[in-house]
Chain A
Amino acid sequence: MIEFQQVTVTVSLPQAGRAAVARTLLAGLDLSLDEDRVAVIGANGSGKSTLLRLLNGLVLPSSGRVLVDGLDTAAQARQVRSRVGFVFTDPLAQLLMGTPLDDVELSLRHLVPGKAARRARALELLAGRGLEGLAQQSVYDLSGGERQLVSLTSVLAAGPELVVADEPTTLLDLRNRNDVADALWAMPQRLVIATHDLELAARAERVLVVHAGRIVADGGPERSIEHYRTLMTGGGRP
C-alpha cells in the first residue's frame, strides 16, 4: 500500500539579482494506492516525475508524509529504497557500469556473496530477457530499447517489491516501446508508471491525471484518459 498524506512539494528557484521564488510542484496530495498497475499521466511539468520520485525518497515532501508499505520515505529511506526500484526515462543515466553484465552485478553486490555466483546470477537474469548476447558489450553500443531492458533487469536484480518507472518508453521506437512495456507488465512486482503513452496507460488498473501539481482525475483508465484528453485539447479546466 502506498499512501500520500497531505503531501506538498515546494522548491526554491533562484532568480538572477533577486530573491528566490518558491514554486509548488505538488500541492496537498492525499492518496492511497493499492492496485498492482497504476499509471500517472499529465502534461510536461505537471508534477508526474515529482510524484514518482516521492515514492523512493529521491524527492522528499516539504510537508506531509509518503508511506510505502508503512515505511516513511523520509525517515526510513534506506529500507524504502531496498523495496522500491526506479526506472528512469534515459537508461544511460541509470546504467552505472560500462557493460550490462557489470551493471547487473553491481545491483547484486550486496545480495549475492561471491564473485563467481554473482556473475552467474547476473548472466542468468540477462538471459531471462534474451540479453545474454549483449552481456559484455559496451552500454553505448546498445539500442535505446536494449539499454532500457538492461536497466529494468538491473533494477529487478535488486529484488524490489514495487517498481516505479518514469516515462520509460518515451525515447523508444514502437518495437522497443512494446518490448519494454511487455516486460514491465509481465513482472510480478507492483508498478507505478508515468507516461505520455495513452495506450500504455490504458493497460493500468488505475490512472491518475496530474495537472499543475494536483490530481485532477483518478479512476479507471477510460474515465481518466478521457478527462486528460479533454484537458489537453482545451475543452475543460480543472
Chain B
Amino acid sequence: MNGVFSLFVPGDSVFHRLGAGWKFLLMAVATFIGLGAQNVFVSSGLLALALAGSACCGVPVSRAWRLPWGLWLTAALLLGYQALLGKPLTGVVIAANLVMAIYAARILTMTTPGSALVDALVRGLGWLRAFGLDPERIGLAVALMVRSLPVLLDSFNQVRDAARARGRERSYFALVTPVVVRAVGYAQATGQALAARGLGDKGQL
C-alpha cells in the first residue's frame, strides 16, 4: 500500500535517527519558506532537497519517489490553470510547493514510528491544555489519520477494480458511493476498536 503518506519503514538512515520533533520542524519550515517566498528557484530548490531527502530514507528510490497518479494530475491541473491565466511561473511554484510538502511529510511518516509521532505531537501541543484541549487525543487522531490513508486508497482501488470488472469504470456514482460507504464503515470500525480498548474515554489517551 503506497499512498500519499507511506507508513513507517524500519531503517537506520539519518532521518530515522533524527528526532520526530526536528522532522516536524524541518517539514514546517520548508513548507512555510516555499509558501512565503513564492519564487520559482526557491520552490524548485526545496523540491530538489525533498527529493534528495526522500532518497536518503533507506528505502528504494523507486518507492520513495512514487506518488499516486491523482496527485501528479492535481499538480498538473494547478500548473495548467495558472499557465492559462498567463502565469506559468506561478503555476510551477504552486505545483512544486505542493509536491515538496507531500515529500517532506512522507519523509516524516516513513522514518518515524507511529508512537514517536504521537509522543512528538503530545509534547509539541502541550500548550493546548491551557485551552482545554487534550494533546493526547490530537496526537492519536493524527496517528490514526496517517494509518487510515492507505486503507482508504486501497478501498478506492478495490472499488475501481470491481467497477472495471462490470464495465462501469466511467460511472463516478458507481466509484464514489461504495468508497464513501466503506469509509464510513471503516470509521465506525476504528471507533469501535478505540472504544474496545478504552481509548478515547476521558482520562485515557
A residues touching B (Cβ–Cβ < 8 Å)?
A: 56-58, 77-78, 81-82, 85-86, 88, 90, 92-99, 101-102, 105-107, 109-110, 115, 118-119, 136-138, 140, 154-155, 158
Contacts and interface: CB of A to CB of B under 8 A. Distances in A.
A140 B196 contact: no
Contacts, number: 96
A154 B197 contact: yes
Nearest to B154: A140
Given A58-B195, A78-B204, A96 B7 contact: no
B1 A140 contact: yes
The size class of the interface chain B forms with chain A is 20 to 34
A97 B10 contact: no
Given A88-B196, A102-B115, A97 B190 contact: no
A38 to B, nearest CB: 18
B205 A109 contact: yes
Contact of A110 (B118, B146, B192, B204): B204
A115 B117 CA distance: 12
Contact of B113 (A92, A102, A154): A102
A110 B135 CA distance: 14
Given A94-B193, A110-B204, A154-B197, A140 B113 contact: no
Interface in B111-128: 113-115, 118-119
A92 B193 CA distance: 10
Nearest to A118: B115
- The 3 lowest CB-CB distance pairs between A and B, nearest first, are A86-B196, A102-B114, A81-B198
A99 B195 contact: no
Contact of B197 (A101, A105, A107, A115): A107
A47 to B, nearest CB: 17
Contacts of A99: 7-8, 113-114
Interface of B: 1, 7-10, 113-115, 118-119, 140, 143-144, 146-147, 150-151, 186, 189-190, 192-199, 201-205
Q: Interface majority SS on B: helix, strand, loop or mixed?
A: helix
Given A78-B204, A102-B115, A115-B119, A88 B193 contact: yes
Nearest to A91: B193
Q: Which of B1, B114, B193 has the most CB of A within 10 A?
A: B193
A78 B196 CA distance: 10
Contact of B189 (A57, A78, A93, A158): A93
B193 A101 contact: no
A92 B152 CA distance: 13
Contact of A106 (B7, B9, B199): B199
B147 A101 contact: no
Given A136-B8, A136-B10, A58 B196 contact: yes
Given A99-B113, A140-B1, A140-B150, A81 B194 contact: no
